[in-house]
Each structure stands twice: as structure tokens, then as C-alpha cells.
Amino acid sequence: MKINDKFFMKLAIDEAWKYQFLTYPNPAVGCVVVKGDSEILSIEAHKEAGQAHAEVNALKTAFLKYHPNDVLKTLNDSFDIHDYLKRKHNDFFNDCTIYVTLEPCNHIGKTPSCAQLLSELKPKRVVVAHEDINKEAKGGLETLEKASVKYDLGCMKKEAYELLYPFIKWNSGSFIFYKMAQTINGTIDGGKISSNHALAYVHALRDRIDLLVIGGNTVRIDKPILDARHVIGRAPNVMIYSKRKIFDKDIPLFKVPKREVTISNDLFKLLDYKFVMIEGGYNLLDKLKEKVDFLVLIVTPKMRAGLNIENSMDIDFEIVHENFIGNDKLIYLKRK
């Protein structure tokens, strides 16, 4: 691949996808710092709401690559990192290009303004894939321009838009995704399918979402708990999609403290929540397909006898990203 802006921006986009959904209610954002023409100092991402933004993580890692024993490595608070870099950068970033998937934020909230930090560090150039659509945070490019920091906008904008799409949806209404795990021959039953790494990822998602939806048959047969114990996280509220309202209340999911469980077949209830995950198989997907924005498919490298897709299902998706969790492949598909 030719070493150009797209090469470095793709690194930033791929890094951001590793934390897609986990940054809720913030967008997933990636950042790469390149010194000179081609020396990659850091590839970082925003990892969790309230923690350092992608640019801050990348700038910190880049600085420490040349100053490995600097006191900066002991700092984790965004405000502390901002303040330290402003005072101690000593023009380190003047020959650096910053690649970031989203326009640097211009406001001060739980974390300080990344645009203001960059305007003081004075990098050679800032390459931005997509402008910010958040009214509170936008305006970062104007801040850079006022500080005479050169920037370019629109590198890999389509790919950056797909990365940003969940944020756009939950910021304006609801984002609903369907999570399903299968073997490489499409089997979805027969007990545990995915690796422990993938299971931990699913539990991390449960910790972030506003609502978890599951089918009534799955509840009756599998008797799940549907918590986030593998990441010591918050167990989500649950909606059981079912016409039949009677369930055995000894099923573990009903016994989770501080959890609300709703039993309903009214799909409009999903629109009361900004970030919804549905877990299930092919039958539930077919019933709820008109409400689904993304399918998140975890494919494990095994072949097993069992239930495969039914011939009657007809849904078209576009693959927007693929990566790996351990040995399992994670595929993000957007409904057409």
C-alpha cells in the first residue's frame, strides 16, 4: 500500500473500530501521530466515555516514545495530560502530522478541548476524516485555523462516516443492533460457541447499553442470567420479546438486583431507548429485522452440526468493518 494520508487514516479508523459501542454515549474515534514523513509514533483511540479522547491518548504515547521515562507516563487524567503537554512539549510536535477520524472537540466538558490543545502544540498538519456533527463539540477546525495550524478535511470520509454512524443514530434517536454468534458453517445452537475473548466483549457491550432485548423462547429454554460478570459490569435492563407473558420467575435473569425486566411484543418500546442490543438467533432476527440498524456477527472458526439459517429469511446487509477478537472474527454489517 502506498504510504500517504489514506494509509495513516486507515490505521486510525481501524483502531477506533476496536472500541466501537464501548465509548457510548461518545463516538468511537481513532488518532495516529506521524513524525516527519513516515515515523509512526502512536496509534490510539478513545476507549470510554469520560476518559481521555483519542488525540490525547495519541499525543501522550507519541511524546513518551521519545521520552520514555518522563513523568507524563504517570498521568491519566485528561486535564493533567493537557496541562503537562502544553507546558513541556518544547515544540516536539512541530514536525508531526496528526491523523484523527473526527474533528477535534472544541468544548470543555468531562474532558478539555482537544482543538485547543492542538492549537498550542502547533503540529505541522492535522488531517481530519469527518467533521463533528455535535453542536456542543464542533468548531475545532476554526480553532485550529485561528491558531494558524494547517488542516485537511475529508480524507476517507465515507469510512469515517460508517464509524460515526452509530453515534449519529443514538444522538438523534435510537441505535439498535443485533448481536449473533455462529460457527463458520452457520450453526448457532449447541451451547457455547464463541471464545472467552468474544464473551468478554459481549459482556462489555451489555455494560454500556440502555436495553437488552431477547426472545421469549430463548429465555424459557436457556434460562440465562444476561449479566456482565466477565467484565464486572452493570447488568442491563431487559425486554423479553414475547406475546406470552407468563415466565418462571426463578429463571436467573429475573433475580438480578436493580434490573428492570419488561415482557412485551410492542416494538415501538425500543424507540424509548437510545442504545439497544438484541441477542438471539435467526428467527428473532427475521421478526425484528425492520428495526435493526446493524448486525454484529461473531464467527468462530469451528464447524458444528446444528441449527442453520432458514431458507425463508431475506435481508441485505453491507459489511462496514471486520476485525478479530482472539480467534473469532467480528463482522459489523449495516442493514441496507
Give the active site residues.
55
Identify whether the C-beta of residue 82 lies closer than 8 Å to the C-beta of residue 65: no
Q: CB-based contacts of 281: which residues, under 8 Å, 6+ apart?
A: 180, 188, 189, 215, 218, 307
Amino acid at 35: K
What separation in angstroms does the CA of 182 have from each of 93, 188, 202, 245, 321? 46, 5, 14, 29, 17
What separation in angstroms does the CA of 252 have from each of 140, 220, 225, 227, 247? 48, 11, 5, 10, 11
Identify whether the C-beta of residue 313 lies closer than 8 Å to the C-beta of residue 286: yes
Instruction: Kindly calculate the radius of gyration of the chain based on its CA atoms and give it in whole angstroms.
Output: 22
- CA–CA gap between residue 276 and residue 175 (Å, rounded): 6
Q: Looking at the chain, how many residues does it have? A: 336
- CA–CA gap between residue 147 and residue 285 (Å, rounded): 51
